[in-house]
Amino acid sequence: MTEISIPELIFVGILMLFFAAWGWRHGLDAVLIAGVFVLFGRFSADILAKPVASSVNIFVGVFKVMTGGQFSRDALMAAIFGGDKAPTPLINMADPNDVVLKWIGTIIFVMIVYLGFKFAFKRAGGRDPLLERVFGFVGGGIAGYMCITFVLDRHVIFPLPVVIEPSDVPQIHVDAPLLVLVILVLIVFGVGRAKPAKKK
């Protein structure tokens, strides 16, 4: 069994290509709209996660009170408003590194980004001149970098280990430059075969 470490730069770079291809297809104006949502998501995800996490704690607390054989008015009020009789919360609101709290923030960020890209496509997702598409490619890659690093920094520790188990099937060795080249060819082919978007 062989263990390979994937450098963060290569991993992030490959993922950025998909965002860059989106920017190439839809142009700079769409990327700028999507970028505003990405920035908003990065700054607001953790802020919005706190009331959501608090609601989850209340729901779980009430559920524990009702199913734990200790149901009473005081216990119910403690589960909702806090207190000495309150059940142990699922999410530690005082710890910004709480795993569940982080995941809630990540889910909120992904939802904001998804809505942003969808809105950008509807408002400005047409075919643009070549120069704007080139800038869209660059801008899409930058937006992708902000999205990818936001998620990876919260949940992934590099270097990322990949375990390869030996088998009787002949192995094909693909190095990083060849892998990037294959992905670029697929993206260019996909863009070329895609139907033109509606004109703005």
Selected residue with higher pLDDT from 44 and 96? 44
Is 187 contained in some domain? no
Please report which confidence band the pLDDT of residue 1 belongs to, taking 50, 70 and 90 as the band edges: very low
Q: Report which listed range, 5-19, 78-92, 107-121, is most confident.
A: 107-121
Q: Who contacts 32 (Cβ-Cβ below 8 Å, separation ≥6)?
A: 139
Nearest to 112 by CA among 197, 184, 46, 40: 40
Mean pLDDT of the chain: 75
Residues 45, 117: Cα–Cα separation, whole Å: 16
In a domain, 196, yes or no: no
The H or E element containing residue 43 is helix 8-67
| CA atoms of 67 and 63, how far apart (whole Å) | 6
Task: Please give the pLDDT value at position 168.
Answer: 52
What is the DSSP pairing of strand 160-164 with strand 2-6? antiparallel
Q: What is the pTM of this model?
A: 0.69
Residue 199 lies in a domain: no
Indicate whether 8 pLDDT > 70: no
Beta bridge partners of 3: 163
Q: Which domain holds residue 133?
A: 2-162+172-181
- Say yes or no to pLDDT of 107 above 60: yes
CB atoms inside a 10 Å sphere around CB 102: 19
CA nearest neighbour of 24 among 118, 113, 136: 136
Q: Is residue 182's pLDDT more than 70?
A: no
Q: Tell me if 188 is assigned to some domain.
A: no
Domain membership flag for residue 44: yes
For residue 118, being part of any structural domain is answered with: yes
Judged against a pLDDT cut of 50, whether residue 2 lies above it is answered with no
156 belongs to a structural domain:
yes
> Average pLDDT, stretch 30-59?
90
Looking at the structure of the chain, the number of domains it has is 1
What length does the chain have? 200
Residue 136, Cβ density class (10 Å: 0-12 exposed, 13-18 middle, ≥19 buried): buried
Q: What is the predicted pLDDT for the residue at 195?
A: 47
pLDDT in tens, 137-180: 988 888 998 898 899 888 876 555 555 455 454 444 445 555 55
Q: What is the model's pLDDT at position 193? A: 44
The gap between the terminal CA atoms of the chain, to the nearest Å, is 54
Within-domain flag for 67: yes
